[in-house]
Amino acid sequence: MDERAQSFGRQLEAGTLTRGAAAAKVLSAAVDSGVVQQMSRRHHHRLAEVWGSDEVSAAVTSMLVRYALGGAERDGHLDPGRFVDGAVSASGWVGKVIGAMRTTRILREMSVETRELAAPSVLERVPVPSAEDAALGASTPRVEEPIRGLPANSATIRLVHASALHQLLGLPPLQPWNFTRAQRVALLVVLERSPGELRRVLAGKFEGIDGSVRESVCQLWTGWSRDDIAAMLALSTPGRDIPRVLASAALRSLPRPTARSGYLERWRSRVRDSVPVRAAAVVSELFEAFLDCQVEVYADFDRIRRRPTATETARREATHDQLPVLLREAAQQIGIGHLDLLSGLIGLFIEPLPVADSVYFTPTAWRFPA
């Protein structure tokens, strides 16, 4: 493959090939020579045991092509001219891109046996040491159950693991962040009691299905084409219910971060001062809603967490329905994605880990500045 890439690079320099055509030929050589399949197996061999090596390789190939060639709205990231003198290996470049993909990095960071992804309820019980913990100690630190996943077990990774699995299968991420708490709970109940209803709605068979269930399923799968949904259903079996796995992973509640009450005013200032003026009000409101819904606040003298009062409980319940609306509005005002903003909020309370852009496969370091 490296020799062929050098040849295409020389043709590019001579003007006999355009950059796009040369890049396409390099990728074709990568597929024909088995380099893509080999690198996919290297990074995703455990996932292939569950989902099938052909499916995973096809998904990785599609993502690699989209990254390397780009589209009408942007140029791709593959410049065949870099391979001309042989100093840069084309096969090595392919391997590095696959290794840097958002899905690859997230699943590698999780360090979970991938077959457990087929049993969504198992994930919350599996300790997931972060990269920092793995480097500092040989054993996984003991973490109290109420704060499992934060910070020692990489909460940001937990935030995006479901989306990573979807995209590694070559599919858009599901969109649970637009759900109210009641919608989320209701759909989880349906998944537990009548998982077949999910497949029926996706197949367009609405007879006997409650309208709210139909609306929630369609909302969760927003952005998917009918062809993608049909392909997913064709690959599903009662023993390998892909829609249920994806929905269960996407709807699972995040672990609750903890915060000392004495730090809250400083964080409020960071949130208010680090966004455009036009967005400051809605982002501050979002921060307060996030505190109510997701954060366990304690004082130095409050080492044993007390139960919330009835007033606090009522306020939290009301805020759950406001949070998706505020999140959507604030992200639009700042000009970033929902997931980036949500991970930025979590990053205020833990050592932040990078979330990668799903299109360009590079870390998006957006968070509230220190």
Buried b / exposed e over 257-285, threshold 16 CB at 10 Å, is: bbbeeeebeebeebbbeebeeebbebbbe
Which residues, in sequence order, are bridge partners of residue 363? 356
Backbone φ, ψ for residue 280 (5° rounding): -60, -45
Q: How far apart are CA 261 and CA 317, in angstroms?
A: 21
Report whether 142 contacts 34 (CB < 8 A): no
pLDDT of residue 203: 92
C-alpha distance from residue 19 to each of 9, 123, 283 (Å): 9, 44, 43
Q: What is the pLDDT along the chain (370 residues), one digit of tens a residue?
A: 999 999 999 999 999 999 999 999 999 999 999 999 999 888 887 666 656 778 778 888 888 888 888 877 777 889 999 999 999 999 999 998 888 776 776 666 554 444 444 444 443 344 444 433 333 333 333 333 323 333 333 444 444 455 566 666 666 777 777 787 788 888 888 888 888 899 899 999 998 898 889 999 998 898 888 888 888 788 777 766 778 877 876 776 655 677 778 888 988 998 998 898 999 999 999 999 998 887 877 776 655 556 777 887 788 888 888 888 898 899 899 988 777 787 788 777 765 545 555 555 555 667 777 6
Alpha-helix residue ranges (DSSP H) falling in 90-241 = 90-100, 102-110, 120-123, 131-136, 155-168, 181-193, 195-202, 211-220, 226-235
pLDDT of residue 33: 95
3-state DSSP assignment of residue 180: coil
Q: What's the full length of the chain, in residues? A: 370
pLDDT of residue 49: 63
| Neighbouring residues of 133: CB distance < 8 A, sequence distance ≥ 6 | 140, 141, 152, 153
Q: How far apart are CA 302 and CA 280, in angstroms?
A: 31
3-state DSSP assignment of residue 142: coil
**pTM of this prediction?**
0.55
According to DSSP, the β-strands at 355-356 and 258-260 are unpaired
| Neighbouring residues of 255: CB distance < 8 A, sequence distance ≥ 6 | 147, 148, 149, 150, 153, 155, 158
Report whether 357 contacts 178 (CB < 8 A): no
pLDDT of residue 56: 79
Extract the tokens encoding 94: 């392919």
Which residues, in sequence order, are bridge partners of residue 75? 70
Q: How far apart are CA 16 and CA 250, in angstroms?
A: 48
Extract the tokens encoding 347: 């990053």
User: In terms of Cα–Cα distance, which of 355, 322, 351 is closest to 337?
Assistant: 355
Q: How far apart are CA 88 and CA 82, in angstroms?
A: 7
Cβ atoms within 10 A of the Cβ of 307, count?
7
Is 161 exposed, middle or buried (CB count within 10 Å of its CB: 0-12, 13-18, 19+)? buried
Report whether 22 contacts 80 (CB < 8 A): yes
User: In terms of Cα–Cα distance, which of 41, 39, 13, 44 is closest to 27?
Assistant: 39
C-alpha distance from residue 211 to each of 186, 202, 215, 250 (Å): 12, 13, 6, 21
Report whether 159 contacts 290 (CB < 8 A): no
pLDDT of residue 32: 94
